[in-house]
């Protein structure tokens, strides 16, 4: 089965699941519209007082906001459902299929729901380029929770602001993070003591 066909299947199943509870679906659409409106209003307010924000024009920051919303949608569509399923499977001792996601801590901590909420809050920092944040926060959302590589770097590429040093750093960091995640996943599997392990 091709990746595109599999993605389309996941999308269809997700839509069908959401449409089972039509009120929830309508509420989620309303929440998304409010989030988009708030983001646009904040941008409008910021740029009513300045022409640029740390070198970013209003149209460039609008691109950052758009990429942040698209990445958030992709995360909520593909990663978050699998992450919550993995957490449940580990907690209930029925880890039958191995979904390679960043939820390995569920091997040691029984209730990981707060991690999903924490991630949502941290991901909101991606609405603005990381360069506008103070040093400690810029470092945190670049290397501890790599929001910069998920949102700011693609926005820099789309707006022709991406330089070679940033691109090389992004590729090297992605490889290091992939290697670490793979090691951590295997380490977690060795510690797993579920019913089917």
**193, two tokens:** 């003591």
Q: CA 43, CA 39: separation in Å to the nearest integer?
A: 6
CB-based contacts of 85, cutoff 8 Å, min separation 6: 99
pTM: 0.58
* CA gap 177, 188 in Å, rounded: 16
As a whole number of angstroms, the distance between CA 46 and CA 23 comes to 34
pLDDT of res. 102? 44
- Exposure on the CB side of residue 125, measured as CA atoms within 13 A: 21
What pLDDT score does 195 carry? 53
Q: So what's the pLDDT on residue 194?
A: 58
pLDDT at 164: 92
Question: Of 64, 80, 76, 69, nearest to 37 (Cα)?
Answer: 69
Nearest to 162, CA basis, from 178, 147, 176, 148:
148
pLDDT score, position 148: 82
Taking the C-alpha atoms of residue 64 and residue 154, their distance in angstroms, rounded to an integer, is 8
pLDDT tens for the chain, 197 residues long, are 677 887 788 777 777 777 777 787 788 788 888 888 988 998 898 889 989 888 889 999 899 888 888 888 777 776 666 666 666 665 555 444 433 444 555 555 555 556 666 777 777 888 888 888 888 988 888 887 788 888 888 888 888 888 899 889 888 988 888 888 888 878 877 776 655 54
Q: How many angstroms separate the CA atoms of 177 and 157, rounded?
A: 21
- Say if residues 116 and 83 touch (Cβ distance below 8 Å): yes
HSE (CB half, 13 Å, CA atoms) of 164? Answer: 0
């Amino acid at each position: 089965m091709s990746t595109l066909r599999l993605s389309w299947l996941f999308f269809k199943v997700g839509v069908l699941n959401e449409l089972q509870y039509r009120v929830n679906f309508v509420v989620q659409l309303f929440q998304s519209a409010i989030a988009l409106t708030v983001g646009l209003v904040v941008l409008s307010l910021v740029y009513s007082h300045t022409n640029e924000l740390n070198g970013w024009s209003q149209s460039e920051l609008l691109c950052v906001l758009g990429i942040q919303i698209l990445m958030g949608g992709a995360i909520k569509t593909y990663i978050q459902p699998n992450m919550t399923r993995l957490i449940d499977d580990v907690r209930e001792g029925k880890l039958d299929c191995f979904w390679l996601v960043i939820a390995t801590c569920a091997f040691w901590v029984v209730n990981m729901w707060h991690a999903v909420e924490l991630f949502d809050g941290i991901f909101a920092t991606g609405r603005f380029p990381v360069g506008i944040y103070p040093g400690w926060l810029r470092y945190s959302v670049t290397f501890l929770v790599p929001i910069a590589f998920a949102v700011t770097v693609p926005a820099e590429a789309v707006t022709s602001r991406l330089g070679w040093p940033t691109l090389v750093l992004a590729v090297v960091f992605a490889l290091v993070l992939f290697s670490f995640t793979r090691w951590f996943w295997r380490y977690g599997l060795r510690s797993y003591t579920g019913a089917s392990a």
